[in-house]
């Protein structure tokens, strides 16, 4: 049966006779653009991110991130006000931009008017005085609303002018603006990195003051970004002309080259950048490790597993129970001595594999989406049991297990995030190597056959039980290893760390990166784990951005950011 995704579009209704005046027709697009941007602005305001972003200064005394968002939305309204088919005459363009911008401003003005309604202020916690001050520029309501509409119109005109620029100039301005905003948003981070060395300290002092970019710094960053952005293609062409063999070599092995660069960057950066970046990268590496494991299950074998966190938990708890120096550890009430981290890890991994196989046994015959639900249920069962009084005598319930020691190499304790990062990096490179070697192996091909069609695979002699259990076991091994490192990283284990969100996070990162691709796991982990860690100051709002990013990436790149070039038949349950 052909599936519905492959169906022809239903017949469109015949165009209705146009009786609407021409001028209104011409203005429909700008008005819609303005309205869309206005609604986006209002959403940002009422959810509360606008005020939060207002607190982050981009250029000292000039611009905050919140204002940036509002400005960019206004410009976008103007830039999007022209349809592709419309004429390129300047006056109609400006008029369209002005209309779009004013509609945008009017939408914001409406938002300002909502402050008058007392009832709404009790409902929406985000209608704060700061938001009012921000939207009204400190003016009274009446003048402020007029200002908003006029300023919106001006922005719209600017936006439409920008959209008339050539492609090169547009790209350069966009790069410059992005660079300034990124430099401003991450200024704390960049500054701590720059302050570490004396020669970069001068650059840091030149660009940044304590609160944000200086205006000279912003100009410099923007100019450098624009120049580099516009010179890059030229430089590339030059390089191709001068060193044709090297250029060909690089472009032939593009993805390997990029991967090597990525790994090099990942391994050098924390040593230079200090403990904070080290901590962030540690999380990235940890999730990469888990992603490699889940990628074997989902990407290669097509077993959609939402209970992945269970293996992670087993690894963490096993390590904690075996090594901890506390009254709930095994050494406290049995004759087993407290082990070192290195001795505990193999046991933890072995236990995870056993649990993975036990986990896979009952759901051997369950397929597709049903498998997702069954594994989700299994994962939740593990969590509930760990939390309950029933298992408390061993696992200590909600109190968790404390005082898990750090690993030692010789007499050196791996206590800093950076040293733990290198440990994790080695583990995840090993995992990547295993996954890479497995892909084209007999087992890997069996998995892929299984993923594409179970019956056919069985008919061709693939041992389904063995292949599936091996996939669960191997996936669980990597997750268990990650769990062991997690336990020693936190030096404690709490049941609340092991919830469904973790499984979902790992699944999301391998899909975002490109299902079945090893590089994709790294890219996904950087994007979905590293970036949210860097944006910690946005608190819970990280998850808002996280959700929005998932949707946006899936709409724009449904196959993932770094998808395998091979056509992948991996459809999750029942989609085919």
Partner 1 sequence: MRKDFAWFVRRGLLLCAILIVCAGIIGTVRADRYSTEQWFDLVAFGLTLGGVYALIALGYSMVYGVLRLINFAHGDTMTVGVFIAYFVARGLEHTKLFETSPAVAVAIILIVGAVVSALVALLVERFAYRPVRASGGFAPLITSIGMSFLLQQTCRGMFGSGVKAYPDPGWLQGSMRIGTFSVPNVEVMVLCAAALVMAGLYLVVNGTRMGTAMRATAEDPRAAVLMGIDINKVIAFTFLLGGLTAGVGGVLYALIYKQVYFMMGFLPGIKAFGAAVLGGIGSIPGAMAGGIILGLAEGIGPTLILDGLGIPAPYQLRDLFAFALLITVLICRPQGLFGEAPARRA
Residues in region 435-454 near partner 1 by CB under 8 A: 453-454
Please, what is the minimum distance in Å from the beta carbon of residue 389 to partner 1? 4
Please, what is the minimum distance in Å from the beta carbon of residue 507 to partner 1? 8
**Three-state secondary structure along 487-542?**
HHHHCCECHHHCCHHHHHHHHHHHHHHCCCCHHHHHHHHHHHHHHHHHCHHHCCHH
Does residue 23 bind partner 1 (CB under 8 A)? no
DSSP for residue 165:
S
DSSP for residue 71:
H
Among 455, 461, 565, 567, binds partner 1 (CB under 8 A): 455
Does residue 55 bind partner 1 (CB under 8 A)? no
Among 211, 338, 531, 554, binds partner 1 (CB under 8 A): 554
Residue list 164-193, contact with partner 1 (CB under 8 A): none
* Residue 223 or 357 with smaller CB distance to partner 1: 357
DSSP for residue 401:
B
Among 26, 72, 124, 211, binds partner 1 (CB under 8 A): 124
* Residue 212 or 379 with smaller CB distance to partner 1: 379
Does residue 531 bind partner 1 (CB under 8 A)? no
Does residue 210 bind partner 1 (CB under 8 A)? no
* Residue 47 or 434 with smaller CB distance to partner 1: 47
Residue list 264-303, contact with partner 1 (CB under 8 A): none
Stretch that binds partner 1, among 184-192, 233-241, 310-318, 564-572 (CB under 8 A): 564-572
Q: From start to end of 61-132, where are the E strands?
A: 63-64
**Three-state secondary structure along 548-572?**
HHHHHHHHHCCCCCCCCCCCCCCCC
Stretch that binds partner 1, among 94-102, 203-211, 216-224, 566-574 (CB under 8 A): 566-574
* Residue 205 or 380 with smaller CB distance to partner 1: 380
* Residue 370 or 430 with smaller CB distance to partner 1: 370
If you search the block for the tokens 């304590």, which residue do you land on?
A: 210
Among 292, 363, 443, 481, binds partner 1 (CB under 8 A): 363
Stretch that binds partner 1, among 260-268, 287-295, 489-497, 563-571 (CB under 8 A): 563-571
Neighbour-count burial for 409-418, b at 16+ CB within 10 Å, e otherwise: eeeeebebbb
Helix (H/G/I), strand (E/B), else coil: 364: coil
Query: Of 468, 471, 295, nearest to 365 (Cα)?
Result: 468
Does residue 568 bind partner 1 (CB under 8 A)? yes
Among 213, 285, 349, 511, binds partner 1 (CB under 8 A): 511
The count of residues in the chain is 576
Please, what is the minimum distance in Å from the beta carbon of residue 489 to partner 1? 25
- The secondary structure of the chain in percent helix, strand, coil, rounded to multiples of 5, reads 75, 0, 25
If you search the block for the tokens 């998808």, which residue do you land on?
A: 563
Stretch that binds partner 1, among 43-51, 222-230, 399-407, 481-489 (CB under 8 A): 43-51
Stretch that binds partner 1, among 130-138, 426-434, 437-445, 535-543 (CB under 8 A): 535-543
CA dihedral of residues 556, 560, 561, 567 (deg, nearest 10): -110
The sign one gets for the Cα dihedral 353, 355, 361, 364 is negative
Among 27, 33, 37, 49, binds partner 1 (CB under 8 A): 49
DSSP 316-338: HHHHHHHH--STTSHHHHSSPPP
Among 59, 112, 172, 378, binds partner 1 (CB under 8 A): 378
Does residue 115 bind partner 1 (CB under 8 A)? no
Size, binding site for partner 1 by CB under 8 A: 76
What are φ and ψ of residue 383, in 5° steps?
-65, -45
Does residue 1 bind partner 1 (CB under 8 A)? yes
DSSP 219-286: HHHHHHHHHHHHHHHHHHHHHHHH-HHHHHHHHHTHHHHHHHHHHHHHHHHHHHH-HHHHHHHHHHHH
Does residue 370 bind partner 1 (CB under 8 A)? yes
Among 154, 228, 541, 561, binds partner 1 (CB under 8 A): 541
């Amino acid at each position: 049966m052909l599936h519905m995704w492959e169906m022809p579009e239903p017949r469109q209704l015949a165009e209705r006779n146009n009786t609407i005046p021409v001028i209104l027709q011409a203005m429909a697009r700008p008005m819609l653009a303005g309205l869309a941007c206005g609604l986006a602005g209002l959403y940002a305001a009422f959810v509360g991110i606008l005020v939060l972003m207002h607190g982050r200064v981009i250029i000292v005394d000039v611009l905050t991130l919140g204002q940036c968002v509002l400005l960019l939305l206004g410009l976008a309204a103007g830039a999007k006000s022209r349809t592709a088919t419309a004429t390129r005459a300047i006056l109609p363009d400006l008029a369209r931009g002005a209309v779009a911008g004013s509609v945008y401003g009017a939408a914001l003005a409406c938002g300002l008017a909502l402050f008058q309604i007392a009832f709404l202020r009790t409902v929406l916690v985000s209608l704060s005085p700061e938001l009012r001050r921000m939207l009204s520029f400190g003016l009274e309501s009446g003048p402020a609303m007029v200002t908003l509409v006029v300023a919106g119109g001006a922005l719209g005109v600017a936006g439409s002018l920008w959209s008339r620029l050539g492609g090169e100039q547009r790209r350069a301005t966009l790069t410059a603006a992005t660079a300034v905003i990124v430099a401003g948003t991450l200024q704390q981070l960049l500054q701590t990195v720059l302050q570490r060395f004396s020669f970069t300290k001068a650059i840091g002092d030149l660009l940044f003051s304590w609160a944000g970019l200086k205006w000279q710094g912003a100009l410099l960053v923007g100019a450098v970004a624009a120049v580099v952005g516009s010179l890059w293609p030229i430089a590339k062409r030059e390089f191709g002309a001068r060193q044709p063999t090297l250029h060909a070599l690089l472009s032939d092995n593009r993805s390997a080259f990029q991967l090597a660069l990525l790994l090099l960057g990942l391994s050098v950066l924390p040593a230079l950048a200090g403990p904070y970046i080290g901590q962030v990268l540690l999380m990235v590496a940890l999730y990469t490790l888990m992603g490699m494991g889940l990628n074997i299950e989902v990407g290669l074998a097509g077993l959609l597993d939402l209970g992945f966190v269970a293996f992670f938990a087993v690894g963490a708890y096993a390590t904690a129970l075996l090594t901890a120096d506390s009254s709930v550890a095994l050494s406290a009430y049995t004759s087993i001595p407290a082990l070192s981290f290195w001795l505990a890890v193999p046991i933890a991994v072995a236990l995870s594999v056993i649990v993975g196989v036990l986990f896979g046994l009952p759901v051997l015959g369950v397929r597709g989406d049903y498998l997702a639900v069954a594994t989700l249920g299994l994962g939740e069962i593990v969590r509930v049991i760990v939390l309950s009084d029933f298992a408390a005598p061993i696992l200590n319930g909600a109190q968790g297990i404390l005082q898990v020691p750090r690993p030692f190499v010789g007499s050196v304790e791996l206590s800093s995030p950076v040293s733990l990062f290198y440990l994790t990096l080695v583990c995840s490179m090993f995992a990547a190597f295993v996954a890479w070697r497995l892909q084209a192996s007999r087992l890997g091909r069996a998995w892929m056959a299984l993923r594409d069609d179970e019956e056919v695979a069985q008919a061709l002699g693939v041992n389904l039980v063995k292949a599936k259990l091996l996939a669960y076991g191997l996936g669980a091994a990597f997750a268990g290893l990650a769990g062991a490192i997690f336990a020693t990283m936190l030096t404690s284990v709490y049941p609340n760390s092991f919830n469904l969100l973790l499984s979902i996070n790992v699944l999301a990162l391998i899909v975002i990166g490109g299902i079945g691709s090893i590089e994709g796991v790294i890219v996904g982990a950087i994007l979905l784990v590293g970036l949210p860690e860097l944006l910690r100051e946005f608190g819970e709002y990280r998850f808002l951005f996280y959700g929005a990013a998932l949707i946006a990436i899936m709409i724009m790149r449904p196959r993932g950011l770094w998808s395998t070039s091979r056509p992948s038949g991996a459809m999750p349950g029942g989609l085919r």
